[in-house]
Amino acid sequence: MRRGGVVLMVMVSVTLGTLCGFLSINTMQGARLPRGPNDAVTNPPGASSGQDGTCSKSSSLKRSYTRSEVLSGGEGEACPLPKRILIWTSFWGEQSFTWERIFFRQVSRRCPESRCELVYDHRLLDSAAAVLFHPGDMKPSYSLPATRPPGQPWIFLSFESPSTMINKVNLARLNGVFNWTMTYRRDSDVVVPYGLVLTRTAPLHLQKDYWSGKSNKLLAAWTVSHCNTESRREWFVKELVKHMALDVFGKCGTRKCGKSLFLMTIGTFNQTECSNEIEKYMFYLAFENSICLDYITEKFYQALTLEVVPVVLGGGPYEDIAPPHSYVDALAFDSPKHLAKYLKEVANDRDAYNRFFVWKQHYTVELGHPFSPLVCDLCAKLHDPVSFSPPNANRNPMEQVGVLGAVRGRDGNGSYPDIQSWFVRGSVCRRWWQSAEGRRKHIHK
C-alpha cells in the first residue's frame, strides 16, 4: 500500500505541474481565441531549448513577457529569452508530431544556436519572434493571423518544388504576406538543403576496390514511388531501358524495398536492409521528380553515403555542391541511349569505376530532410540583429537591372510582393527536354 501511495502522489504531482504550465501559457499577453487546425495544440514537452538547461523552462513557459521583451530578447535578464517560433499551419495535414521531427535538431539542442522554442497555440502570436507557414496547407479558405505584431517575420517554408506546390495552393493570394523564405533554394533567406557535403578534417588513406564483388548483371537500380512526374523522368527511363538493364524498386516497379521515404515513414522499415540491396548495383538513378533551380533531394545525398555511383537528373548545381567526380549527369548526354552506352563502359572498367569513389577519402555527407532537416540557421537568424535591419531587401539580379517581367524578390518594405513570381518563375522548372523537337531529338538520336 505504501508503494502504491508513493506512485499515486507522484502522478498527482506531475499532473498538477503540467496543469500549471498549461495555465501559464494561456495567460500570456495578447491571448486571443485560437484559429485554424491547431486550436487545441499547446507547446509540446521538450520544445523549449535554451542554451543552458537551467533556463530553458523558467525563461519561457513559466512566465509572461511583453512584445518589447520579444524584440530585445530579454537583454539584461539572468536567463535570456528563447526566440519563440509559432507554427501556424499543419505540415501536409500533420500536426505537432511532424513539426517536432522537422525541427529535431533544434528541439534536441543540436544546433550551434539553440535558444529557440516551437509553440503551436495561435494565442501566442504576440510573444512569437517569428511565425512559420507551410503553404501546402494553406487552402483558399485558410485564415491568416488577424494582426501582425511589429518586427515579426512571417516565413514561407517549403521542402517541395513549385511543381508540387502550385497544384495545391493559390500562391497569388499570398502576395505581400511573407517576409522570409525558408526553402532548399540557395537564394532563400533561410536555406534548408537536403544534405551537405563536408570536407574531412583529416583525409582517409583507405584503398578499396569498389568494383570487385559487383556484377554488370546488376547494372543499375531505381527506387521510385511517383510514376508520373513534372520532369518526365519516367519517359527518360522508358528509353533508357531499351539499351541497358535496370531494376525498379517501389510502386512504379516490380521490386520492393521499404516504403516511400517521408517524415512519417522514417524508422518504420529496415533502411539498412534496403541500402544493402541498393549497394549490390553499380549505379543508382537519383532522378528528381522536378527539374528546378537548386532542387536536389535526399535521393542524391543518400546515394552518396552508399557504395554506388549516383546517376542524376535534375536542375540543381551538382558541380558546385557534389564531391568531384562523384556522380554521372544524365542530362550531359545527347540521349538516354548515349548514357546507357557510357554506363556499360564504366561498369566494365575497374579503374574507371573506382575513380568515382576517390572523393570518399576527402569528403563526408550529412543527410538533411527528411532524415534530420538542416533547420539550425533559422534560430541563428532570429538572434542576429542584422537580419532585421532595413531595407531588408532580397532582389533578383535581373530585377535589380530593371528587366521587365523579371522575378521579384523581397522589396524594401521587407516582404515578398509576388511570392508566386519568386517561387515559381524564379525556380525555372522544366522537363528533361526543352521542347517537342528536343524530346524527339533525345529519344531517337
Answer yes or no: are the C-beta atoms of 294 and 186 closer than 8 Å: yes
Q: Are 390 and 414 in contact (CB under 8 A)?
A: yes
Total H helices, total E strands in the chain: 15, 13
Between CA 445 and CA 439 the distance in angstroms is 10
Torsion region of 325: left, alpha or beta (phi above 0 gives left; psi -120 to 50 gives alpha) = left
What cell does 63 get?
512566465
Examine the residue annotation and report whether 160 is marked as an active-site residue of this protein: yes
395: Cβ contacts below 8 Å, ≥ 6 apart: 409, 410, 411
Q: Is 76 exposed, middle or buried (0-12, 13-18, 19+ CB in 10 A)?
A: exposed
> What whole-number distance in Å separates Cα of residue 26 and Cα of residue 42?
9
CB atoms within 10 A of CB 354: 15
d(CA 255, CA 19): 51
List the one residue out of 382, 409, 411, 385 whose CA is nearest residue 397.
Answer: 409
From CA 36, how far away is CA 26, in angstroms rounded?
Answer: 17
Relative to beta strand 195-199, strand 363-367 is: antiparallel
Q: How far is the CA of 94 from the CAs of 155, 160, 181, 417, in angstroms?
A: 18, 16, 21, 29
Grid coordinates given for 77: 535578464
> At what angle are helices 336-347 and 233-240 packed, to 10 degrees?
60
The side-by-side arrangement of strands in the sheet containing 328-329 is 247-249, 220-223, 283-287, 309-313, 328-329
Active-site pick, 117, 160, 230, 277: 160
The residues carrying an active-site annotation are: 160
